[in-house]
Amino acid sequence: MDWSSGLVLVWLSLRCITLGYGYKVGVGIADITGPPAEVAFMGYANPAQRGAGLHLRQFSRAFIIDDGSSRMVFVSADCGMMGTFLRKEILRRLEGKLGDLYTIDNVMISGTHTHSTPGGFLMDILFDLNSWGFVSETFEAYASGITRSILRAHGRMVQGDVEYARGEVQMANINRSPTSYLRNPEDERSRYKYDVDKTFSQLKFFRKDGFPLGVITWFAVHPTSMNNSNLLVSSDNVGLASIMFEQRVNKEYTNLIGKGPFVAAFASTNLGDVSPNIAGTRCMPSGQPCEKYTSSCEDRRDHCLAFGPGRDMFESTHIIATRIMESAWATWKTKGQPVNGKVSAVHQYVDMPAQKVPYRKNESEQVSTVRGCSPAMGYSFAAGTIDGPGAFSFKQGTTTSNPLWNILTNLLATPSSDLIECHAPKPILLATGEMNFPFQWQPAIVSTQLGQIGPIKIACVPGEVTTMSGRRLRNELAETMRVSPEEVVIAGLCNTYADYITTPEEYQAQRYEAASTIYGPYTLPIYIYHYKQLANHIKYGTKPDPGPEPPESFSDVVSLLPPVLWDMPGWGKNFGDVISQPREEARAGETVSAVFVSGNPRNNFQNEGTYLTVEKLDNDDKWNIVATDANWETRFIWTRVSILGTSLAEVRWDIPPDAGPGTYRIRHYGHFKNILSRINPYEGVTTPFKVVQ
């Protein structure tokens, strides 16, 4: 080859990179639905909130970007958060399939933070306490499903293009701790129009011929439209927004949710103090206003609750999801900024209590050294939030301890004087960092990770970042990496769950978010310092020290959740028998239902399947599926009838406007465990009924 030919090839290669022709991209989706019955939900810590059915299935959505020399994976999963040991198990399974292609360095896994999905998978006692300890069924559903989504994305990689865009959503989020936000400096607050982020970041993925593959939208909102009285597994507002977006693109898969080629994720970001319950708060049942600093009520029989825009939590979820989705859709339809350049990621474990970092409160003060604390939860943690109030008489904003509660909680562990001093002004309710029986109650070692796709930087943060904390982290990383703050994405609840991250100023107010900032008042400065170090490793192409390995807990986990012993259909009945048929005739907008003799849904979660189908008879006398249990308009409700193992399943279908007149029926699929512990499938089907105009 002569020199001129070589120079032409080099020029063409550089030109291709400039035009964004260097990426391979892949998207994948998988069902990760956990046990829909008897397992407590992770989020509200309400012992009475144990699953009794299914409204929306959980999915994992995976995206892979490869620049030819390195690649990165981003996963958004419909679960409360990600855990250190769950992620490690996923990486172990990927290694068994694909070797060292996907590692601790280049795989980011973020939870959407829905509060209506099964818990028991984090392997930290405080987080798994509400689910009676570790729930292997939840852990396995998430591990296998998330792994499957990544493998599918890997198997579908093609030459493609990536675009980046920004948009705005109005009337979908409010700050649930506005008095804490006001603790931040006025000159800092004056730079922002709102006390929550109304803007979102969006990455778009296309095949080289322009065929749409997928989209990730990061928007700050808590998935708490479904409140703590909900007993049906649900991916909540952002999960529904994902489904609606995918249905709009995957037109041939509208009634086969999770099966289409296009994948749309609405991922978590700095949502720590952000609520979807935009109608605001009032004391219930009296209807009186709440006290704004403590979110408490004068009448002790009342609870301070925030309400969504709908008549009930289902309508509120749909309204918020629609607003988010429609705004994201409008941005999707516009031309985004082409993304070109190197793909890379770095990872480091950090022992937060051991950290000492430089910190300057403002330009007029000298730099000082601040430290992290061993984990501890404050009194206001027990008060809960306006999205889900706690029990007893705890109030948000509590900065003094109660001798009686101290006596009770000190039976678990009496906080040391150093812990008390480190966390001040937080009064310590639970000294979790000094409670190690039978294993750790909260993590001390967390995962920190930073990735880039050309100019776009993604900080994978192990907790719930408040609005201003996220803004500060974005600004610091933007300055370090010489990009615009708008090009820095905060991916929340990522890799590890280590509760909240407030600003030092917000910490002083000791509302729920601050009381749950477990490494003390300087948690945010410590994170900022370490993410800036990771940014320098990205800039200079170096690899950080891996950091201390988190202690394994698999051999010590405790599970007190009873297994399914057996199922019985009841005298003279068989599994799948229809106890209550749908009415013979119904109209769009009405609800039809049927009740079946059921087995316990914990026997089989029907992953990649369904507990129900709604079917319509076509002109060729064939029954076609028009809805499954992943559709918004269906609900699967399970009820235990007796301790002898008999149970019933109710299937509800809210007939949508586009159902069309015709003949329909409802089918139920399930599994039962016999007295010999053998699990067997069954199904039942109703008599046909008419939908009329």
Please identify every residue annotated as catalytic.
Answer: 275
State both tokens at 200.
């979102």
CA dist list (Å): 370 to 21, 355, 416: 46, 8, 19
The rounded radius of gyration (Å) of the Cα atoms in the chain is 25
Instruction: Compute the distance between CA of residue 488 and CA of residue 486 in angstroms, rounded to an integer.
Output: 6
Cα–Cα dist 114/32, whole Å: 13
Q: Which two tokens stand for residue 139?
A: 């852990």
The structure tokens listed for 91 are: 């990486």
The span from the CA of 287 to the CA of 223, in Å, is 24
Tell me whether residue 316 is exposed, middle or buried, using C-beta atoms within 10 angstroms of its C-beta: 0 to 12, 13 to 18, 19 or more. buried
* Residue 547: Cβ-neighbour burial (10 angstroms; 0-12, 13-18, 19+): middle
For the record, the structure tokens of 353 come out as 């209590």
- What's the token pair of residue 77? 């999963």
Q: How many CA atoms lie within 13 A of 185 on its CB side?
A: 8
d(CA 481, CA 475): 10
Beta 384-385 vs 445-453: how paired, if at all? unpaired
In sequence order, the β-bridge partners of residue 625 are 615
The whole-angstrom separation of Cα 35 and Cα 79 is 12
Q: Token pair for residue 627?
A: 């809805």
User: Could you tell me the two tokens for 424?
Assistant: 């001040």
Strands (E), 482-573: 488-491, 500-501
> 84 with 119: CB under 8 angstroms?
no
Q: Token pair for residue 78?
A: 């419909």
List Cβ neighbours of 311 (8 Å cut-off, separation of 6 or more): none
Closest alpha carbon to 234 in 610, 630, 648: 630
Closest C-alpha to 468, from 277, 239, 185, 215: 185
Beta-bridge partner residues of 206: 161, 212
ω into 415 cis (within 30 of 0): no
Q: Is residue 427 reached through a cis peptide bond, with omega within 30 degrees of 0 on the bond before it?
A: no
Query: CA 197 to CA 219: how far, in whole Å?
Result: 8
CA 206 – CA 226 distance, rounded (Å): 33
Among 439, 672, 400, 677, which Cα is nearest to 552's? 439
What is the maximum span of the chain, computed from C-alpha positions, in angstroms? 88
Q: Which of 578, 563, 599, 597 is nearest to 673 (CA)?
A: 599
Cβ contact 329:245 at 8 Å = yes
Exposed/middle/buried for 291, CB within 10 Å: 0-12, 13-18, 19+?
A: middle
Residue 281 to residue 178: CA distance in whole angstroms = 12
- State how far the alpha carbon of 663 is from the alpha carbons of 252, 254, 586, 591, 666, in Å: 21, 20, 10, 15, 11
